[in-house]
C-alpha cells in the first residue's frame, strides 16, 4: 500500500505537525505534500523527510518570510493543493486546518482527512477577521470577495475526502454545521511521556502559554492579573506581544522564546494554567495536566473535553475579567492532586492516537 501524507504548510512545530510525525511513525516511507516548507524555522529532523512542496514554494514574494506568504498567496492555495499528483498512491492522509483536504485523488484511492478545524476566518470568525483590516484599505475592500470565493471552494473541498476525522467533538459539530458531513472524533497526540510532574513544584506563579493572537483572549488574563497582583508568566509570541506588554503591570512577565526543557519546567512548576480563549481542542492544557498542574479554562470549546471540573481544573462561564478573577480565587482555595491530574492526561497519549488512527484506516480499507 503506497501512502501519501498531505499537510498544510511546514513553518513551525505545533500540534498539527505532531499529528503528522505520529503518522510518519506508522508510515515511515510516506512522502509529505505541503504547500510551503521552511527548513530555517522547522526542527532539523524534518530535513530528513521526503517533503514535496507546491509551486508557491518558489515564488519570489516573501522568499524567506513564510508568514507573509500565507497572507499574500492565500487565494492561490486551493490551486496549489489541486495540482499535487497523487495518482500513484493507494491511501492519502491529509492533515487539514485550511485547504489540504481539497487535493484531487483517483477513484480507487482512499482519502481520509484529519480536520484540526474548519477554517475559522471563513466561517464562524469571518466578521472578526474582516474587522481587523484598516477601514478603507485595499485589504478591507478585497477581503470580503476573497472570503466568498474561498468559502465556496472550502465547502466543495470538504466533500472530496472519503472520510473525515475530527480532532474533538467540538470540531465534529462544526464540521457538521459548515460542511454538512459526519466525522469521527480521534483526539490528537499529546507527549505525556515528556511532560511529567516534578516532585516539588514551586507553584509561585500562574501561567499562560500559546500564540499571542486576539481570539485567545490573552488581554483578559492580563487585565485580571493586573487587579489580582499575583504573578503571571506569559509564554509565547505573536502580533499582540507589544500591546500586551504595554498594558501589563510588573507582576506579569513575558517569555517569547523558551527551549523545550524550559517549557516543561515552566509547566511543571506553575500554580495553574490560564486558558481564556475558546479553542477547538487545545494541546497546551493537556501538556500542563500531564505535568500534574490544573487548568483554569473558559468553559466552551475543546477544553470541556480535556479538563475535568474540580478534579483537573476549573471553568469560568463568561469571558469577563470578573469571571476569571473569581475562578482564580476559587483555585487558590483548592488543593490539587497532581497524580489524578497527570493520570487523566494519559488517555490523550501519542500511542492512543496512533492506535485509533490505525484501527480507523483498517476499518475503512475493508
Rounded to 5°, angle at Cα 268 from 46 and 198: 110
pLDDT tens per residue, range 12-32: 888 899 999 999 999 999 999
Kindly report the CATH number that applies to the domain delimited by 3-189+349-365: 3.40.50
Q: Where are the domains of the chain?
A: 3-189+349-365, 206-347
Confidence at residue 269, expressed as pLDDT on a 0 to 100 scale: 96
The pLDDT, as a whole number, for residue 67 is 65
* Alpha-helix residue ranges (DSSP H) falling in the chain: 15-26, 66-72, 77-82, 126-131, 138-157, 169-179, 218-228, 241-247, 260-269, 283-290, 303-306, 321-332, 338-345, 350-365
For the chain, give the longest Cα–Cα distance. 62
Residue 76: per-residue pLDDT: 87
Closest alpha carbon to 187 in 169, 214, 204, 174 = 169
Q: What pLDDT digit, counting tens, does each position of 270-324 carry?
A: 999 999 999 888 899 999 999 999 999 999 999 999 999 999 999 999 999 999 9
CATH architecture of 206-347: 3-Layer(aba) Sandwich (3.40)
* Residue ranges of the chain whose pLDDT lies below 50: none
pTM of the predicted structure, to 2 decimals: 0.88
Amino acid at each position: 500500500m503506497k501512502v501519501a501524507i498531505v499537510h498544510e504548510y511546514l513553518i513551525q512545530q505545533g500540534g498539527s505537525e505532531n499529528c503528522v510525525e505520529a503518522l510518519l511513525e506508522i508510515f515511515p516511507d510516506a512522502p509529505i505534500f505541503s504547500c510551503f516548507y521552511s527548513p530555517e524555522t522547522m526542527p532539523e529532523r524534518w530535513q530528513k523527510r521526503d517533503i514535496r512542496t507546491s509551486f508557491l514554494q518558489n515564488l519570489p514574494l516573501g522568499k524567506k518570510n513564510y508568514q507573509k506568504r500565507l497572507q499574500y498567496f492565500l487565494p492561490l492555495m486551493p490551486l496549489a493543493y489541486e495540482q499535487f499528483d497523487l495518482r500513484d498512491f493507494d491511501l492519502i492522509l491529509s492533515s487539514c486546518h485550511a485547504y489540504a483536504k481539497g487535493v484531487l485523488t483517483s477513484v480507487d484511492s482512499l482519502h481520509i482527512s484529519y480536520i484540526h478545524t474548519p477554517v475559522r476566518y471563513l466561517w464562524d470568525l469571518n466578521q472578526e477577521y474582516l474587522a481587523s483590516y484598516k477601514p478603507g484599505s485595499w485589504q478591507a475592500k478585497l477581503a470580503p470577495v476573497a472570503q466568498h470565493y474561498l468559502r465556496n471552494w472550502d465547502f466543495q473541498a470538504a466533500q472530496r475526502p472519503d472520510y473525515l476525522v475530527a480532532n474533538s467533538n467540538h470540531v465534529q459539530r462544526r464540521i457538521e454545521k459548515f460542511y454538512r458531513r459526519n466525522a469521527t472524533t480521534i483526539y490528537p497526540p499529546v507527549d505525556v511521556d515528556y511532560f511529567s510532574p516534578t516532585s516539588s513544584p514551586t507553584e509561585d506563579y500562574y501561567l499562560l502559554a500559546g500564540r499571542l493572537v486576539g481570539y485567545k483572549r490573552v488581554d483578559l488574563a492580563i487585565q485580571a492579573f493586573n487587579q489580582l497582583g499575583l504573578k503571571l508568566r506569559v509564554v509565547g509570541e505573536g502580533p499582540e506581544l507589544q500591546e500586551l506588554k504595554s498594558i501589563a503591570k510588573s507582576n506579569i512577565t513575558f517569555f517569547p522564546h523558551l527551549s523545550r526543557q524550559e517549557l516543561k519546567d515552566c509547566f511543571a512548576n506553575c500554580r495553574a494554567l490560564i486558558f481564556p480563549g475558546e479553542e477547538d481542542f487545545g494541546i497546551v492544557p493537556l501538556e500542563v495536566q500531564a505535568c500534574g498542574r490544573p487548568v483554569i479554562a473558559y468553559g466552551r470549546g475543546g477544553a470541556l473535553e480535556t479538563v475535568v471540573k474540580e478534579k483537573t481544573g476549573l471553568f469560568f462561564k463568561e469571558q469577563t475579567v470578573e469571571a476569571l478573577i473569581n475562578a482564580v480565587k476559587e483555585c487558590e482555595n483548592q488543593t490539587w492532586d497532581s497524580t489524578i491530574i497527570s493520570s487523566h492526561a494519559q488517555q490523550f497519549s501519542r500511542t492512543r492516537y496512533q492506535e485509533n488512527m490505525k484501527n480507523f484506516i483498517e476499518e475503512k480499507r475493508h
